[in-house]
Structure 1
Amino acid sequence: MNDALYIIKDTPSNGKGMFATRDIKHGTCILSENPLVLIGPDNQRNFEAVNSLPMINKMQFLALRNVYSEKEMPVLAGIIKTNALPRGPNSDEAAVYRDLSRVNHSCAPNVHHFWNRITEKESIHAVKDIAAGDEILTSYEEVLMPWAARQVSLQKKFRFECRCKLCTSASNEEYDATVARVKKLSDLIMVYVSMKNDPRKAIECVREILALMDKAGIWGKSTFIHDGYQISAMYSNYDLAKEWADLLLESYLLDEGESGDLYKRYLGYAQNPKSHERAGWGGYIDLKGA
């Protein structure tokens, strides 16, 4: 496609990869792709699905990278394990793609990939501005993982030691400290809301998390912005809830766009902050200034 935002080409050390053909703005949907083949928990059925593909699609599948030796597993299984992306969080169903399966890993990604249940396609959105010529990189792991845990997991699942900009930078230890602090604050949000009935402290935790993530350039703030909205709505602070809901909608649009699974729900929150199913459950506690 002449108007494609990317090209697939060789990388110096990671096989083929996806590269930007022009400057791409934060929030841009770079690609929404139909699966080449759907993958489930039954290996035999997966092999049958691959072998029943039209020849051109089977050749595209077989051209994908395989990091596993034949001693470890059959070739088809190795290609699937190397390239399959889950169809939604915590799903045991996955899919392999002609182009999206070429997107390489970075612990500091410039795109977010996600399965859209509405369109039944996998999409990638830019989570920061990407310059023409830059490699398009996603994270194979949760972004809120410390360096050692990321390395162990990547080595086990994908057979490589990550040498991305984050893993080789002097700020790596600072990043780990940020991750640890964010996780602690995330746990405290639940404690303050469910055990101590102190939503002001919970909102303070949310604000500190967002500031830490902004400073470190960590993607994925929508989850915590949602916490801010939900807490405000639960304790009947609907003006504040409206502010959080607007911020949530803006963040989600950048992450997944109007076609995303949760867009209509978050739009509803922004239009009517009282529409959350737990609105008013906690009575009223003034959260102004929190």
Structure 2
Amino acid sequence: MRLFQQLSGLSVLVSLVLAHEGHSHDHHHHDHSHDHEDLGGINFCGDGGSLTGGCQDGLGNIAAADQKVFLWKEKENETTQQDSPASDEDDSTLGNHPWTHTKPCFTSAETNHTLCVFTDNHFASNRGASFITTPERATFFTTTTPFLDPSLTKDINQDLHRTIPSRYEKQLIPGKGMGLIAKVHIPRGALIMANTPSLMIDYRAFEDLPKDSYRQLQASAVDHLPPLHREHIMALSTHDSADRSHIEKIDKICGTNAFDIDPHPEDPMQDHGFYVVFPEISRMNHDCRPNADYYFSHDTLTQYIHAIRDIIPGEELTLSYINPVMKHKARNEKLNRIWGFQCSCPLCTAPTPQQLASDTRIAQIRDFWGEFSDWSTDSRASPQLAELVASLYEQEKLWGNMYEAYTWLALEYNAAGEPWTAVKWANKAVERGIPVVGENDSDVLQMERLIKDPWAHWSWMKRVRVRGGWGKGREREGEENHENDDDE
């Protein structure tokens, strides 16, 4: 649910309810955990063998392996056996895309869904990518722009014009294992890293198939990738040193290092998202107040990492694995339960009085969230309350979420009939929002509309109208009341 929809009355509350653990329907409060055996998220201690320097060791330029091309075949009048391998020998094909691999496949008797491994080792300039999903969904992927226009992903994994030479390097972090360290000053808003996925796993696999079946699909998805790409996935952390079989190790790697990604806006199967592995990005460790944040673009099938504050040379690059707007105890209980560690970030190791003060600010922020999406006369929302919440965000160093506070400020000032102050905050919301949600995000686009014409925006004078009276000198001369704009 987009923020502007929540605030314009289309949703009563800012939702933090997760359909899957970490499968967030809130706009931006990232939570990387998922319900795949209650593991999840990105890697905390990614020891050994990872790529650094924006794939400078050659992952983006590997020669394609397994050159033989297969087309997925759907067997007609098949007698389905529960979770049994589905044949790929038939006359019909899955579109015209030359997948390098299209098997194994398993079909569930309960849902009659067939899920296969679809690997394209030519994707993203021979970097390669594997998808575990249904034939119908794989066909949909091949109709999206990253598959139709290879130039979009040609240099995305190295991003030569912006991040090469690399702004970071891999180092051993005391108490954490391997992590990424800034080599140069990285200004706020700068791109740090951009990667196409290695694995995209349809959540339907975990719901429809037994453990042995989806584990086999995961292992095949990794094994089908080009050799160097496969090596870097296998080098990711499993969070422990247990001796496992090849299939079990890949399952643990996926569970420890995956991000949750929502479906493409035009995906016909909107009820199931993906859990996705990016081995380079997985090297970034957790911090409850990180210096970087990310968003995924379906337009390029790419995860982008940007600095959300200035980062100095020698500083570790970090992301938050969970929704950062949680109290100290709740954050650490979740981190320990899912990833098995106690956070040692500056906020979590601060003296008790400072932790309690932080918890108080978090409680206030959460208490006020609902006010800004309540457009009734009972709401306490006002420009002054929005100023308070923005101040709380700043005190809490919630840099990745500041665009939310600025959006509330823009809307509240516009709703009170102060267009130029609203435009000031809308500009700040756009500047802060692009690095963490992308330029095509609906919240960013809403703020751009407000900047263009605050009087035509649905929020114009809305608090004044709801509470009675138009105020003095609030309307632009000759401007009609926008009573019918509320639902735009």
Say whether the fold is shared (TM-score over 0.5). yes
Of the three residues 172, 186, 203, the one matched with 1:10 is 172
**CA separation of 1:286/1:217 partners in 2, compared to 1, >3 Å: closer, same or farther?**
farther
Is the partner of 1:74 in helix, strand or coil?
Answer: helix
Which structure has the larger Rg?
2
Is the partner of 2:171 in helix, strand or coil?
Answer: strand
**Alignment partner, residue 206 of structure 1:** 386
**Alignment partner, residue 49 of structure 1:** 221
- Is 1:125 aligned with 2:306? yes
**CA separation of 1:197/1:102 partners in 2, compared to 1, >3 Å: closer, same or farther?**
closer
How far is 1:173 from its partner?
1.7
**Alignment partner, residue 210 of structure 2:** none
How far is 1:234 from its partner?
4.9
**Alignment partner, residue 252 of structure 2:** 78
Of the three residues 229, 232, 238, the one matched with 1:66 is 238
User: Distance in 2 between the 1:287 and 1:75 partners?
Assistant: 68
Residue by residue over 1:133-152, the C-alpha shift from the partner in whole angstroms, topping out at 9 and shown as x without a partner, is: 11101100111100111011
Letter aligned with residue 145 of structure 1: M
- Is 1:185 aligned with 2:368? yes
How far is 1:231 from its partner?
3.8
How far is 1:202 from its partner?
2.9
User: What fraction of aligned residue pairs are identical, expressed as a percent?
Assistant: 22
**Alignment partner, residue 266 of structure 1:** 447
Letter aligned with residue 146 of structure 1: K
Of the three residues 154, 165, 174, the one matched with 2:357 is 174
How far is 1:236 from its partner?
5.5
User: Distance in 1 between the 2:236 and 2:457 partners?
Assistant: 44
**CA separation of 1:125/1:46 partners in 2, compared to 1, >3 Å: closer, same or farther?**
same
How far is 1:287 from its partner?
9.9
**Alignment partner, residue 18 of structure 2:** none
How far is 1:235 from its partner?
5.8
8 Å contact from structure 2 (residues 238, 249) kept in 1: yes
**Alignment partner, residue 201 of structure 2:** 39
8 Å contact from structure 2 (residues 198, 276) kept in 1: yes
8 Å contact from structure 2 (residues 284, 319) kept in 1: yes
Of the three residues 153, 157, 160, the one matched with 2:341 is 160
8 Å contact from structure 1 (residues 28, 125) kept in 2: yes
Alignment length, in residue pairs?
A: 285
**CA separation of 1:7/1:51 partners in 2, compared to 1, >3 Å: closer, same or farther?**
same
User: Distance in 2 between the 1:40 and 1:275 partners?
Assistant: 41
How far is 1:111 from its partner?
0.7
**CA separation of 1:252/1:84 partners in 2, compared to 1, >3 Å: closer, same or farther?**
same
Residue by residue over 1:76-123, the C-alpha shift from the partner in whole angstroms, topping out at 9 and shown as x without a partner, is: 221111111122599731211121011000111111122123322111
**CA separation of 1:254/1:52 partners in 2, compared to 1, >3 Å: closer, same or farther?**
closer
How far is 1:188 from its partner?
3.0
Letter aligned with residue 224 of structure 2: S
User: Distance in 1 between the 2:167 and 2:285 partners?
Assistant: 16
Is the partner of 2:338 in helix, strand or coil?
Answer: helix
How far is 1:277 from its partner?
5.0
**CA separation of 1:234/1:202 partners in 2, compared to 1, >3 Å: closer, same or farther?**
closer
| Contiguous gaps of at least 5 residues in structure 1 | none
How far is 1:256 from its partner?
5.1
How far is 1:194 from its partner?
2.9
How far is 1:268 from its partner?
3.3
User: Distance in 1 between the 2:332 and 2:167 partners?
Assistant: 30
The TM-score, its normalising length taken from structure 1, stands at 0.85
User: Mean alpha-carbon deviation: is it higher for 73-82 or for 94-103?
Assistant: 73-82
User: Distance in 2 between the 1:93 and 1:276 partners?
Assistant: 35
User: Distance in 1 between the 2:432 and 2:470 partners?
Assistant: 26
Q: How does 1:97-108 map to 2 (within 5 A)?
A: 97-108=278-289
User: Distance in 2 between the 1:166 and 1:287 partners?
Assistant: 46
Of the three residues 169, 176, 194, the one matched with 2:376 is 194
8 Å contact from structure 2 (residues 295, 436) kept in 1: no
**CA separation of 1:240/1:91 partners in 2, compared to 1, >3 Å: closer, same or farther?**
farther
User: Distance in 2 between the 1:253 and 1:34 partners?
Assistant: 19
User: Distance in 1 between the 2:379 and 2:330 partners?
Assistant: 34
User: Distance in 2 between the 1:19 and 1:207 partners?
Assistant: 35
How far is 1:179 from its partner?
0.5
Is the partner of 1:115 in helix, strand or coil?
Answer: strand
How large is the Cα RMSD of the aligned pairs?
Answer: 3.0
Is the partner of 1:245 in helix, strand or coil?
Answer: helix
**CA separation of 1:279/1:255 partners in 2, compared to 1, >3 Å: closer, same or farther?**
same
